[in-house]
Amino acid sequence: MWIKKADLLQVAVRPAQYPPEGPPEIAFAGRSNVGKSSLLNLLTNRKHLARVSGSPGKTQTINFYAVNDDEFRIVDLPGYGYAKVSRSITEKWGEMVDAYLIDRGSLKAVCLLVDIRHEPTGMDAELFGFLAHHGLVGPIIATKSDKVSRGAYAKQASLIRKTLGAAADTPVIPVSALKRTGVEELLNAIEPWIYAGSEGKN
């Protein structure tokens, strides 16, 4: 599988604004500053598809991208956990994201992004538990892999799995937007969720 083309389809804050369901959707979630925009730009081979943010926590929309003329969709969920956002923004984040995650038939999986260097946060673990409960766990993405040596990948992956409560067979894919590594591995890991029927959820 390869991404030849990606176009912004829709920016939404509530369900009425979502594009009609159709092609399989893979969503990406993670705390602000984890490297989500950089990764989406790398995946789609575009410099500014997703804004690389100088002010984390600002983008509070759900962005739908049509990949390869809507063969499948990438859904960019708003970042969370930015220390300076107010409680009401955090609550709005939960409402906005829950509404999408709970009731979207074409959503196949959510890839949770975590920084390869650090133990996932309480909010990461909470979101992961929610995903597991709803059968939406996709590959875990360990971002900024250029910050650790290759030899440390396995150790960091098990720390990440353990902290999130992920099964031993949940893929943890190291990626670096900076060094442009891990994209092929990530696309290969996502592929089964895109091309499986609803029984592909696990």
Ligand X SMILES: Nc1nc2c(ncn2[C@@H]2O[C@H](COP(=O)(O)OP(=O)(O)O)[C@@H](O)[C@H]2O)c(=O)[nH]1
Binding track, positions 42-81, relative to Mg ion; x by CB under 5 A: -----------x----------------------------
Binding track, positions 146-175, relative to ligand X; x by CB under 6 A: xx----------------------------
Smaller CB separation from ligand X, 52 or 102? 52
HEC secondary structure over the chain: CCCCCEEEEEEECCHHHCCCCCCCEEEEEEECCCCHHHHHHHHCCCCCCCCCCCCCCCCCCEEEEEECCCCEEEEECCCECCCCCCHHHHHHHHHHHHHHHHCCCCEEEEEEEEECCCCCCHHHHHHHHHHHHCCCECCEEEECHHHCCHHHHHHHHHHHHHHHCCCCCCCEEECECCCCECHHHHHHHHHHHHHCCHHHCC
> Least distance to Mg ion from the beta carbon of 44, Å?
14
Smaller CB separation from ligand X, 187 or 196? 187
> Least distance to ligand X from the beta carbon of 5, Å?
21
By CB under 5 A, tell whether 170 contacts Mg ion. no
By CB under 6 A, tell whether 34 contacts ligand X. yes
Chain residues binding ligand X by CB under 6 A are: 30, 32-38, 52-53, 56, 79, 143-144, 146-147, 176-178
